[in-house]
Amino acid sequence: MDVSLSEDQRLIGESVRGYLAEHAGPEQLRKAVEDGQAFAPSLWRGLTQDLGLVGLMAPEALGGAGLGARDMALVLEALGEHLAPAPFFETAVLALPALLALGRPDQVERWAAPLVAGERRACLAFADAQGRPDLDALEAQLTTTPTGWRLDGRSRFVSGLPASDLVLVVARHPDEGLSLLALPLPAAGVTALSVPSLDPTRPMGELAFDAVEVSADDIVGAAGQARKALHDVLATAAALLAAEAVGVAQACLDMTLAYVQERKQFGRTIGSFQAVKHALADMVADIEAARSAALYGVLAIDQGGPDASAAASASLAWCLDAAKRCAGQAIQLHGGVGFTWEHLAHLYFKRAWSNATFLGAPERHREHVAARMGLDATAPSSEPH
């Protein structure tokens, strides 16, 4: 199999990196964090309306490009390198695929088309009270009423919520199973709360539901039929989050290389010290292995098959650990300045560690792989979500 990039894929990567270098550089990132911006509107318009990236995996009939996970991985790696302050992952990788997988034609036109056009921003509420993507432990509950359904409870750790005007809520019904609800914000009975998060470049929120009236039009697709589609969406998201983690690790290496070639001690640049060279070599080895793992994951998703979810979990577990190691090493090699708020190193460290809980911890994904291979009879579930 030829896994080299096509000319079109090279152009995707180059165009995204070129745009982000101009519009999402260190100064823009620092300003967004200091201002507490959930997203930069001008950057969002560029990513969606100018570059058309949200719809990269959406069908052409909807205004998308009809491409695959590998193409989207090029975008996510670049976004990871820049920590771009925009709810792109939440909209393009989580919400939009869920709508496309479950939505009726009228619902796709109503909710998905505006996402592809960059006219709306959306998030997917799928985490339990501990922040895990455990679809069997959700607090959002549906009950049947004479006119439809009622939604109560909470959705916690909702990434991208502060910047979203459409939220897709995964809710449980005691008899019917899992359903996906589309709720434009604001909505009667829905309270959106901002909550402190580890990563200021990926803000999170919490939703509280108090006797929210739910009609058949609010349920994406058929009631109680969302489980399989959501598993597939989260598997694809895992493979793409692995690509983002590679971008985070690469940025840590790039900023560290630039620093050690300028910083001097004892009359020499610290990059000439053997211990520093060894640490940098470890980072390079981590990143190269992670890039291969991420490629394995997205290729498995594009090809489909019964082991695609396990491949995505394997790639994500590897890449998350690599990103954490590289982010920690970057702070160490920057010395005292690496521990300061003014330096960007802490933002990459926080993204690396927050990613390690976003779609399930690496340990949970390794358990999923082990269970698929028949190696771990004690694994709590055959799926990491």
pLDDT for the residue numbered 376: 64
CATH superfamily, with its number, for domain 227-372: Butyryl-CoA Dehydrogenase, subunit A, domain 3 (1.20.140.10)
pTM here? 0.95
Distance between CA 23 and CA 336 in Å, rounded? 29
Phi/psi-derived region of residue 116, left when phi > 0, alpha when psi is between -120 and 50, beta in every other case: alpha
Residue 260 · residue 270 · CB < 8 Å: yes
* pLDDT score, position 377: 55
Alpha-carbon torsion (350, 34, 79, 131), positive or negative: positive
pLDDT of residue 35: 81
What was the pLDDT predicted at 92?
Answer: 98
Residues in the chain: 385
Separation in Å, CA 46 to CA 53, 156, 244, 368: 9, 30, 19, 38
CA distance 164 to 184: 9
**155 phi/psi in degrees, rounded to 5:** -125, 120
Looking at residue 342, its pLDDT comes to 87
Q: List CB contacts of 265: < 8 A, sequence separation 6 or more.
A: none
Beta strand spans in the chain (E): 122-125, 141-145, 148-159, 166-173, 177-184, 190-195, 204-214, 264-265, 268-269
Sequential DSSP letters for 52-99:
--TTTTS-GGGTS----HHHHHHHHHHHHHHT-SS-HIIIIIIIHHHH
Q: In the chain, what are the domain boundaries? A: 7-88+106-119, 124-218, 227-372
Pairing of strands 204-214, 148-159: antiparallel
**191 near 208, Cβ under 8 Å?**
yes
CATH number, domain 124-218? 2.40.110.10
Q: Do residues 29 and 79 make contact, with C-beta atoms less than 8 angstroms apart? A: no
Give the pLDDT of the chain (385 residues) as one tens digit per residue.
678 889 999 999 999 999 999 999 988 888 888 887 767 889 999 999 999 999 999 999 999 999 999 999 999 999 999 999 899 999 999 999 999 999 999 999 999 999 999 999 999 999 999 999 999 999 999 999 999 999 999 999 999 998 999 999 999 999 999 999 999 999 999 999 988 889 999 999 999 999 999 999 999 999 999 999 999 999 999 999 999 999 999 999 999 999 999 998 898 999 999 999 999 999 999 999 999 999 999 999 999 988 999 999 999 999 999 999 999 999 999 998 988 988 999 999 999 999 999 999 999 999 999 998 888 655 555 567 6
Please tell me the predicted confidence (pLDDT) of residue 1: 67
* pLDDT score at 197: 87
Instruction: Please tell me the distance from the alpha carbon of residue 122 to that of residue 94, in angstroms, as a whole number.
Output: 9
Q: Please give the pLDDT value at position 262.
A: 92
Q: What is the DSSP letter of 115?
A: H
Confidence at residue 221, expressed as pLDDT on a 0 to 100 scale? 97
Structure token digits, residue 162: 């502060």
Q: Tokens 């006219």 belong to which residue?
A: 119
CATH of domain 7-88+106-119: 1.10.540.10
Q: Using CA atoms, how far apart are residues 148 and 75, in angstroms rounded to an integer?
A: 40
**Chain position carrying tokens 């050690």:** 260
